[in-house]
Amino acid sequence: MSNLSMDQAVEVALELLGTDGGVAVGEVNAVRNLRWANSSLTTNGDTIDNTLSLAAFVPVNDGVASGIVSGQVRNREDIKGLVAAARASARAAGASQDAMDLVAGAQHSNFAAPATQAVDDGLGDIAQQLSEVFSDTSSQYFGYAEYSHDTTYVATSAGTRLRYEQPTARFELCAKSPDRTKSAWSGQSAKTLGDIVVAPHSSRVRAGIAHQANRIDVEPGQHTVTLSPSAFADLMIYLLWTASAREANEGRSVFSNPLGGTRIGERLTQRELTVATDPTLRGLETSDAVINLGASSMSSSFDTGLPITRSEILSSGVLNALASSRYAAHEANLPFTPITDNIEVSDAHGSGSLDDLAARMSDGLLITCLWYIREVDPQSLLLTGLTRDGVYVVRNGEIVGCANNFRFNESPVGMLSRITDAGTAIDCLPREWADWFSRSRVCPVTVDGFNLSTRSDAI
Amino acid sequence: MPANPNELANSLADAALEVAAEGAATIAHVRIATHDNRIVSVRDGNVENVGTDSTTGFSVRVVSQGAWGFAATHELTPAGARDAARRALAMAAVSAAVSTDVVSLADEPAYGTASWTMPVVIDPMAVSDDEVIELLMAWNEKVSKSSAVHHVDAHAAMGRDATFFADLNGNRLSQQRFRTSAQLTASHIGEGGFDDMRTCAPPAGRGFEYLQGHGWDWDTELAQIPDLLDQKVKSPSVEAGTWDLVIDPTNLWLTIHESIGHATELDRALGYEANYAGTSFATLDKLGNFKYGSPIMNVTGDRIAEHGLSTVAWDDEGVAAQQWNLITDGILTGYQVDRNIASHVGLDRSNGCAFADSALHVPIQRMPNVSLQPGTEDLSTQDLISGVDRGIYIVGDKSWSIDMQRFNFQFTGQRFFEIKNGEIVGQLKDVVYQSKTPDFWGSMVAIGGPSTYLLGGALNCGKGQPGQVAPVSHGCPSAVFRDINVLNGRKEASA
């Protein structure tokens, strides 16, 4: 930003939007990362960026129209250009279905504070710790470390002034045997790289490689499995993303009631399982207000500034709520349910660690990671994907070896009723969705009849 | 920012390259890129979103002390450029302390100051929102008239990339390319549940003229959508088991992308993506001897195909666009490489597969246009269907998934036509096909001719950490595959 700070830029944008109003969101972002493969650092990056995004509201014959634009701004002229483009798009769009009055949201006292430019200096420490890991030549190591710091300024013509800082760190370590017949992974999300110690991760992946010394061929089929918190998180995040009130109410979702309306109130599992998003989740905090530009079934520009509180999609095993914008909630005659950027999945009777759960399973498969998860059938929310980086065979409560990988075909909704045991929820990094969703606190679970459809020869 | 070499771009490049050279960088690349995108979406006759975004970034990548260093900024000033160069050198210093691989790049001639623009008729970013909205609303109205259609979702996405590349060898390369895509999905909700039917038009390296009917017959396809949906809803659920498949290019492009495109990325085969996207079964020792598929299988990589989403004049390391063989008569004969990977394995030259999705991301080896060549005999799709006693003709892509070594894959589609005794007898639903890459391509028994060839593709190919997306095209004819495992998607959910 050459001439304007980002808090000034959003104020200028609102001024130029005039009495018609709108929403301005400014983001200042700094990212540093390291990547490694074959026990050597490879690529890296040190990036700074800013973006100003606008929703311009324009009165039209039959309501209020909205147009969206996003770009980098270096001076007042840049902002003028963005405002003009957004207003032109709004006029072309015509009245927005989801138009509602903006609320006068909170006004943060530090709104005008400068964006945090300096990034955590833990990257060098991570590199040093990795040099020790790489000295082990019995395996080859691969992975990624990233620290990002986002400062977000939100201003609306209704008076909302919000400023959020979101530091996010992420670390992943994968070990492979030199002949590439064994592979194990460990990952962690945190607020800073300083919160991450590499040694426990290297111990974990080395233990995984050791378990894989004994290879046991296991045929595809319906198996009793214990899913790690990371694996279960990947499935529950997909469930969360599809828990839309509008689609359910329209009859085109796994959460639709065949007799009309939604399945809210239906018990999906006999377990006291809760799936929630909560901006105040300790250690996994997120913004506590709606920040959105654009319209979808779950969000609307016109909701920006509204508070977000804890929402339980599944509450003690019962479908309790479905995510919505205000307009979608109104359409479906359901409570407004905004969701935020974290997930908590817990079982009221869950106890113990992943290892404890595997031991209680007695006989079955312990699945550490899922990968390449895609939707096959929205009606049942059938998902497919692969197991990855360790499927361990458990006999009499002990890990006795490692199985081949599998392709699964399973519904995260259908499988809820087959959960037979659960552990304690812990912070975990979802293997599949970590690029978009890293704040997860999820319990491990044991599931009967998990559909491991076909064999995968991949390692 | 800058469609062509201009004073600002050159001054920023000069400032950064000077700092890099003073910092003893042996290699320094500067990139400036502006990416403009537009999205318009319509839902049940109402405009839902109209928006544009534009980002411009400046980046410096150096090799110093034998290691990569990369830094980027939105600051387009000489001071910002110099700062980025210093930060890139600092990153290289961090990396050099723990790197055992010394970076070297395969040679490439310098091209001096040059520019290239993808030929299009109408710059998709230059048309008004009104024109795009009017088009989508007309599509919506056309399809929604049918009683079988209960909801209609349509969207159009367009983009324009303007990039500038400079290095210590005197290159000042500017290029501009475009992409345009649109989809419409009609949904039916009934007592038996819900289902949908989507258009099959692929994204293309074309301008707005694409949505007006140049390169795709939108009118005909949109007119067919309601009946196709109605038939699908009423069709029987597929019987799981072994079927012969005739796969249309609108579906086969995605299978090529996943099972050949990613599998022949040499960086994957060497382990550079092992933590994230995975590796490849097509390891370097298999080059020249591995039977990838049947003898009628010939696959090329290129960055030159007309309307290709990966088509450029130079890649993001200044390598001129080329075409080369990946699979010849069913045998693995080539890979996709960038300059570092090419040097690493002793190749004389890169085939130009370095790409970054913005100046804010480091270039990595990304997929070129990867295409299955048509047969020499110009067999039509109907000719292929005529040769199948019991099979399914699959049209359009939908769900896809493949394992981390590109062996086990599973795909669905938009339309599944049952074939009995060489004739299409109606639609099936819930079809899921699953196979293992060498088995699948080994089962290809017939291939369509040039008249069946279509350039499919995607805008959202993902790879790398931090994650990057890339647009890429895949040309292919229709083809016949014998004895493929077909699952019933509905029954899999209740297995």
| The overall pTM is greater than 0.95 | yes
In this complex, is the C-beta atom of B44 within 8 Å of any C-beta atom belonging to chain A? no
Q: Which domains does chain B have, with CATH numbers?
A: 5-234 (3.30.2290.10), 241-494 (no CATH)
Pairing of strands A343-347, A440-442: parallel
Q: What are the tens digits of pLDDT across the range A39-62? A: 999 999 999 999 999 999 999 999
Burial class (CB in 10 A: 0-12, 13-18, 19+), B40: buried
**Can you say whether the dihedral through the CA atoms of A284, A287, A288, A293 is positive or negative?**
negative
Interface membership of A117 toward B (CB under 8 Å): no
Chain A within 8 Å of B485 (Cβ-Cβ)?
A: yes
Mean pLDDT throughout A99-117?
A: 94
Please tell me if residue A333 touches chain B, with a CB cutoff of 8 Å: no
Give the rounded distance of the alpha carbon of A43 from its chain centre: 25
Separation of alpha carbons B464 and B273, rounded Å: 7
Strand, coil or helix: what is B138?
Answer: helix
Question: How many Å apart are CA A178 and CA B347, to the nearest integer?
Answer: 24
Q: Which of A49, A96, A258 sits opposite B360 (nearest CB)?
A: A49
- B360–chain A Cβ distance below 8 A for any pair: yes
The H-assigned helical ranges of A244-308 are 245-249
Helices (H), B270-353: 339-344
Helix axes A6-17, A76-93, angle to 10 degrees: 40
Which member of A74, A405, A451 has the closest CB to residue B403?
Answer: A405
Q: Check CB contact of A258 with chain B, cutoff 8 Å.
A: yes
Per-residue pLDDT reduced to its tens digit, B360-394: 999 999 999 999 999 999 999 999 999 999 999 99
**Model confidence at A116: pLDDT above 90:** no
Q: Is B238 on the interface with A (CB under 8 A)?
A: no
pLDDT of residue B4: 47
Indicate the pLDDT class of residue B100, thresholds 50, 70 and 90: confident
Task: Tell whether A94 lies on the interface with B, counting CB pairs under 8 A.
Answer: yes
pLDDT of amino acid B5: 47
Are the CB atoms for B338 and B268 separated by under 8 Å? no
Structure tokens belonging to residue B139: 């599509």
- Give the minimum alpha-carbon distance from B363 to chain A in angstroms, rounded to a whole number: 9
Interface contact A294, partner B, CB < 8 A = yes
In the predicted model, what is the mean pLDDT of residues B442-470? 97
Which residue in the set B75, B151, B271 is minimally distant from A38, CB to CB? Answer: B271
Q: What length does chain B have?
A: 495
Instruction: Tell me if chain A has a CB within 8 Å of the CB of B324.
Output: no
Considering only the beta carbons, identify the residue of B191, B361, B407 that sits closest to A457. Answer: B407
Q: Which residue's structure tokens are 């390169």?
A: B215
A19 DSSP 8-state letter: G
Instruction: Using alpha carbons, list the distances in angstroms from residue A269 to A57, A241, A265, A319.
Output: 44, 19, 12, 9
- The pLDDT value given to residue B1: 46
Query: Which residues in A lie closer than 8 A to residue B67 (C-beta atoms)?
Result: 41
pLDDT reading at A87 higher than 50:
yes
Top residue of B136, B191, B194, B401 to mutate, by most chain A CBs within 10 Å, is B401
The pLDDT of residue A118:
62
Per-residue pLDDT for B2 more than 50? no
Give the nearest chain B residue to A223 (CA atoms): B495
User: Nearest residue of B to residue A148 by CA position?
Assistant: B466
Is there a cis peptide before residue B466, judged by omega within 30 degrees of 0? yes
Task: For an interface test with A, give the residue of B1, B32, B47, B65 to mutate (most A CBs within 10 A).
Answer: B47
For chain A, what is the largest distance between any 2 Cα atoms, rounded to a whole number of angstroms? 72
DSSP character string of A239-272? HHHT-BHHHHHTT-STTB-TTSSB-TT-B--SS-
Question: From CA B391, how far away is CA B356, in angstroms rounded?
Answer: 41
Q: Quick check: A121 pLDDT over 90? A: no
pLDDT of residue B446: 98
> pLDDT per residue over B424-436, tens digit each?
999 999 999 999 9
Mean pLDDT of chain B: 96
- Identity of the residue in B67, B187, B275 whose CB atom sits nearest the CB atom of A174: B275
Query: Mean pLDDT over all residues of chain A?
Result: 96
Q: Output the pLDDT for position A34.
A: 97
- Confirm or reject contact between B241 and chain A (CB < 8 A): no
Q: Does A203 touch chain B (CB under 8 A)?
A: no
Among the partner-chain residues B51, B404, B490, the one whose CB lies closest to the CB of A67 is: B51
CA distance B163 to chain A (A): 17
Residue numbers in A near B271 (CB within 8 A)? 37-38, 140, 142, 176
Distance of alpha carbon A44 from alpha carbon A36, whole angstroms? 9
Question: Considering only alpha carbons, which residue of chain B is nearest residue A456?
Answer: B408
Contacts of B131 (CB under 8 A, 6+ apart): B208
Mean pLDDT of the region A143-162: 97
Give CA separation, A96 vs A128, A244, A245, B147, B306, in Å. 54, 20, 19, 26, 39
**What's the CA gap between B53 and B74, in Å, rounded?**
15
Instruction: For the beta carbon of residue B444, count every other beta carbon within 10 angstroms.
Output: 21
Query: What is the ipTM for the molecules in this complex?
Result: 0.95
Convert the pLDDT of each residue in B252-301 to its tens digit: 999 999 999 999 999 999 999 999 999 999 999 999 999 999 999 999 99
CB atoms near residue B230 (< 10 Å): 19
CB atoms within 10 A of CB A126: 23
Cα–Cα distance for residue pair A71/A232, rounded to 1 Å:
37
Q: Do A46 and B70 touch (CB under 8 A)?
A: yes
Percentage, residues of chain B above pLDDT 70: 99
Q: Which of B410, B460, B491 would best serve as a mutation to test chain A binding (most A beta carbons within 10 A)?
A: B410
Instruction: Round to whole Å and give the CA distance between B363 and B30.
Output: 11
Nearest to A376 among B75, B399, B403 (CB): B399
Using the Cβ of B279 and the Cβ atoms of chain A, whether some distance falls under 8 Å is answered with yes
pLDDT the model gives residue B99: 87
Q: Please determine, for residue B494, whether its predicted confidence score (pLDDT) is greater than 90.
A: no
Residues of B in contact with A140 (CB under 8 A): 271
Cβ atoms A405, A386 nearer than 8 A: yes
B403:A386 CB<8 A: yes
